[in-house]
Amino acid sequence: MKVQPLPSVEKFITEHRKFLNTCYDKGYFILSGPIYPRIGGIILANIEKLSQLKDILREDPFYINNIAGYEITNFTPTKWHSNLNIFFKNMNKLIPLPREFFTRDTNLVSTELIGKVLYFQDKTAIITETESYIGQDDPACHAARGRTKRTDVMFGPAGFSYVYLIYGMYYCLNFVTETEGFPAATLIRGVHVISPNDLYTADTSKVGSQISGEPAQRIRIQQFGVPNLKVSKVYLNGPGKLCKYLGINISHNKCDLINNNEFFVGDIGLKLPYSTTTRIGITKGTDKLWRYVVTDITNLISQL
């Protein structure tokens, strides 16, 4: 199963990516989804003349075709903003990990998934907590009872999603690992949301503004001051929470995470410290040290 992109923007994605890269190279900061900018996305740019900005926006197919508008702010970037710019530039170039990443030892995959980016439609999140479930000898693994219709996906090939319902109300997301025929998977237990419009919000309550009339009054110009960018603490610690927030459900079971532009895992080079503990929320196999949890993400942006 493959998640389909929003039909109204699908044909413009490639050119929009080029536009984003151009902006990032110029040092402009676009706070919108890495592929789908939300209406009212924010551009932070050190631009002296409005005409320069209009010329830049004429290169964006989303803007030209009335798919998205942008809020513009004049300001001089700081080191923090430069790091943020690099971060979103890397996000725009995000591609799926190769299948070989998942065909390895499950615990190795689980540890190396820490700091990787989960991309689902227009939402992105850093993976911060994982658990391993390995083979039919692991009493906590669903495959311990043998191959069933439910667990069939766990037997491979690797690099597919395994989504199931618990307690009749919560979905859990797993990534199938190891060689085909051996049932194993990594459960994604926690993420830190990094979609720009979720993680960063601009406080413009003290900032004067005006509306430009060209085209279609879709440019809001911030004339005075610098927006106060605030980092929202969007931590989702629990498989049910993250699936609910991202919109993942049983229809996303058995998705190929490799040949997929809408649901995959990518790497932007983050190295986050983590601790190893016993698994939680289970009654069997509780002695296994197969849970991995990030210990500090407070300086996440500064790493980039």
Comparing C-alpha atoms, which of 129, 41, 95 is closest to residue 263?
95
In CATH, which superfamily holds the domain spanning 99-194+234-303? Methylpurine-DNA glycosylase (MPG) (3.10.300.10)
Is the distance from CB of 249 to CB of 161 less than 8 angstroms?
no
Name residue 193's beta-bridge partners: 125
pLDDT at 254: 97
Q: How does pLDDT run across 6-62, given as a tens digit for each residue?
A: 446 667 777 877 787 777 777 665 554 433 444 334 555 555 555 666 677 778 887
Question: Both tokens of residue 178?
Answer: 């190891």
Instruction: Give CA–CA dist 204/126, Å, rounded.
Output: 27
3-state secondary structure of 251: helix
What does the domain layout of the chain look like in residue ranges? 10-94+201-230, 99-194+234-303
**In angstroms, what CA-CA distances link 271 with 136, 257, 303?**
32, 22, 8
pLDDT band for position 264 (50/70/90)?
Answer: very high
Q: How does pLDDT run across 208-238, given as a tens digit for each residue?
A: 333 333 332 333 333 333 334 444 456 788 9
Q: How does pLDDT run across 152-165, given as a tens digit for each residue?
A: 999 989 999 999 99
What amino acid is encoded at 112 in this protein? E
